[in-house]
Amino acid sequence: MANAKRVAAEGRGRVAEARAAWLLRLKGYSIVARRFRPARSFGLGEIDLVARRGRMLAFVEVKARATDAEALLAITAQQQHRILRAAEHFLKVRPVYTGWPMRFDAVILEQDRFWPRHFPDAWRP
């Protein structure tokens, strides 16, 4: 039973990330990476989307929750730290982006809303 719930949650997450990528592309971003995850041995978090617009690189966390507030609160300080470490690793393996301005964004999919919401610079490390 727990495995079925996990599979369902994984499916919802993929749909949410696809809708978030769609929104960002409409706003003029290019998607550089999806579900960037350093090797498990690094103990780093996953980055849902890495997007760029011009020379700005955005590391994007996607959350689907009942409300915007609930989704933003779900991005805990611990999760922010893991995403920061994964972003640092991303820059090591993709040195072409080294030195670019970067920020941490959130795209929220609220339960009763069709359009996702983009929160640029949602947090700072």
Asked if residues 95 and 34 have their Cβ atoms less than 8 Å apart, the reply is no
Asked if residues 87 and 58 have their Cβ atoms less than 8 Å apart, the reply is no
**β-strands 56-65, 30-36: how paired?**
unpaired
Could you tell me how many helices (H) and strands (E) the chain has, helices first?
3, 5
Q: Pick from 86, 68, 71, 96: which is nearest to 125 by CA?
A: 86
Distance in angstroms (rounded) separating the CA atoms of residues 33 and 35: 7
Which overall architecture, per CATH, does domain 2-123 show?
3-Layer(aba) Sandwich (3.40)
* pLDDT digit string, tens, across residues 48-106: 999 999 999 999 999 999 988 999 999 999 999 999 999 999 999 999 999 999 999 99
* pLDDT digit string, tens, across residues 8-53: 778 778 888 999 999 999 999 999 999 998 876 566 778 999 999 9
pTM: 0.90
Strand boundaries in the chain, DSSP class E: 30-36, 47-53, 56-65, 102-110, 117-123
Two tokens at 84?
Answer: 């920061």
